[in-house]
Amino acid sequence: MISFYDKISSGVLEIEESVIGKPMKGYISPNNSILFSILSFSFSLMASIYLFTNYVFVESSGEWSPFYEILLDSSFKIILYSLLSSISFFFLSFFIISSILKLTFIRSTGTALLGIFSAWIIFSVTSGLGHFIFIEADWDVVWQGRLLLLFGQQMFEAVTQSYYPNQSWRLWSVLYLVYIVIPAAYGTTKDNPLKFIISFGIFSLISIFAAIGGSHVYPENYNHMGPFTKILGATVVAYFSYFQAYRYCLKSEDYKANKLRSYLGIAAVFVFFYSIFIMNPPDSVQSLCANVFGISSSEIQISRCGGVEASQWGGLFVNLLVATAGCVLGFGVGVILAFARQSKLPFFKYPAVTLIETVRSGPLICWLYFAVFLLPDIIDPFMEVEDIIRLLMIFGLFGGCYIAEVLRGGLQAVDSGQKEAALALGLSPMQTKLQVELPNAVRTTLPSIVSVFIGLWKDTTLLFIINILDFFKLAKDLPNTSPGYLDDFLEPLYVTALIFWIFAFYLSRISMRIEKSLGLTNEGGGDVA
């Protein structure tokens, strides 16, 4: 039976060899290899402890005194920064000393140099970036303007005010629907429930803390319990939705689970259109609501019947809405254009080719300017459409043209035998396209489609160029809201980069989960044997 010591030593040696290569033959034996590793570990540990104490001393008072007193007087940020830097330095020194003692740089020169260089980069990034994050940066500017970054000025006031007929209920209704659909979709994956329970619980706690923490951010009459109870209720609904979907998929056959996933996909599309509708309903709907509640036409906009005009939307809400439009509308447009381009009928083929090539030939920023300045001349004679709505249309069209070309490649890869078999079974040409060709095309091109979605999500930052108060523009202008924050212009930009990275990362993870559920290998894209 292998002892615990043997497992640890073999693991350490394996990590060493994977980073700095194999030791010199004839010089290092299995018996003394672990001895050299222990020596490297000891020297590296002493060096990292010295670095930790030095960092704590330098970043603290800088006056000589017993270390325990300096440690007690130091802030948590200083200790955390010093600890992270010393840990990264430990690995750097460990690999350097091991490479020297075991002469790996002679036998595996390239591997050793690459491993040491990588460890040095990690230490440099950890030390430099950590010093900015924990020591230099003042994150108060981001904390103070967190709701402004999320919703923009107009919607921020609607959320934070508990008096006067406000429109915050519209945001809460969208939030509850999102908290129903997304957890249910995650539940269909049948993963370990603890992953969702812990991660979503942490997210909910952060949301609650952001909504109620720091009373100096809000007006004196701000109702803190309102957001607390609403977010807590939404969290309970999310857990309930997740466990219902999880239990159903766990007990049901695969075809029933797939049907539930398709229903949830339709529900996600519904939530997207609902969010646009409920935020700013058409005038006819507002008038109908006013008539039901006996509100005059002049009082509609100051009542709960009136919507929040699209010109007042802002913050991360706009980025998410525009990116969703590019994904949802873009996928629908892409499917239509892909089939139209493959059609043998000139009436369908040539307009699709013209539209795809025209849209793809111009940069997105040009089409955004077109949506703001030229598109009103085309649309306004028929109906009045605000800037945000036109931008949603442009993003949907732009994304659809790229998705169409991706899907076209997938459609061409569909085996002709499958089409012939579908027609022989009595399926109509339309049923063959939607039930046979399209699923196979999506299955083949899923990674490319997700790449287009991620690109559209990042492209939403272009909105600030045309003076849309999106997340990036508000973050860029946030230090100007107070004279005390004029020098803190990097902090909001770092937070913006982090938020965009998180969403892009999770889009990629969702893609990998879908590939797994479709029977595809981890990252290879081939079918499981």
200 is a domain residue: yes
Is 368 exposed, middle or buried (CB count within 10 Å of its CB: 0-12, 13-18, 19+)?
buried
Which of residues 117, 136, 155 is at a domain's end? 136
Which among 266, 268, 239, 310 has a CA at the least distance from the CA of 174? 268
8 A C-beta contact, residue 255 and residue 239: no
Q: Does residue 213 lie in a domain region?
A: yes
The two three-digit tokens of residue 273, written as one number: 């259109």
Q: Quick one: 132 and 173 in the same domain?
A: no
Check whether residue 108 and residue 11 sit in a common domain.
yes
Sign of CA dihedral 81, 86, 87, 89: positive
The span from the CA of 339 to the CA of 407, in Å, is 9
Q: Residue 255: how many CB atoms within 10 A of its CB?
A: 8
206 & 288 share domain: yes
Encode pLDDT of 239-254 as tens digits.
Answer: 999 999 999 988 888 8
Same domain, 173 and 68: no
Q: Is residue 368 part of a domain?
A: no
Is 107 within 8 Å of 24 (Cβ atoms)? yes
Count of domains in the chain? 2
Which of 307, 329, 344 marks a domain boundary?
A: 307
Residues 294 and 247 in one domain: yes
Are 217 and 87 within one domain? no
Cα separation values, 424 from 319, 411, 428, Å = 46, 19, 10
Residue 464 lies in a domain: no
Q: 221 is in which domain, residue-wise? A: 168-307
Pairwise CA distance, residues 313 & 302, whole Å: 17
* pLDDT, tens digit only, all 529 positions of the chain: 456 666 777 777 788 888 888 887 777 776 778 888 888 889 999 999 988 888 877 776 655 555 555 555 567 788 888 889 999 999 999 989 988 888 887 878 888 888 889 999 999 998 888 888 888 888 888 888 887 888 877 676 655 555 445 677 788 889 999 999 999 988 888 778 888 899 899 988 888 887 776 544 555 555 666 778 888 999 999 999 999 999 998 888 888 888 888 899 899 999 999 988 888 887 777 777 877 767 766 666 666 677 777 777 888 888 999 999 989 899 999 999 999 998 888 888 899 999 999 999 889 988 888 888 887 777 766 666 777 888 888 999 999 999 999 998 888 888 878 877 887 888 888 888 888 888 888 888 888 898 999 999 999 988 888 888 888 888 888 888 777 777 777 888 888 998 999 989 888 888 887 777 666 654 444 444 3
Q: Which element (helix H / strand E) includes 229?
A: helix 225-251
- Looking at the domain assignment, is residue 423 inside a domain? no
235 in any annotated domain? yes
DSSP of 443-504: HHHHHHHHHHHHHHHHHGGGGGGGT--BHHHHHHHGGGGSGGGTT--HHHHHHHHHHHHHHH
Q: Is residue 479 part of a domain?
A: no
Instruction: Say whether 315 sits in a helix, a strand or coil.
Output: strand
Same domain for 101 and 176: no
83 in a structural domain: yes
What pLDDT does residue 33 have? 80
88 lies in the same domain as 189: no
Indicate if 101 and 195 belong to the same structural domain: no
- Spatial separation of the C-alpha atoms in residues 507 and 268, rounded to whole Å: 15
Domain boundary, last residue among 282, 307, 332: 307
Residues 181 and 294 in one domain: yes
d(CA 16, CA 344): 61
Terminal CA-CA length for the chain: 35
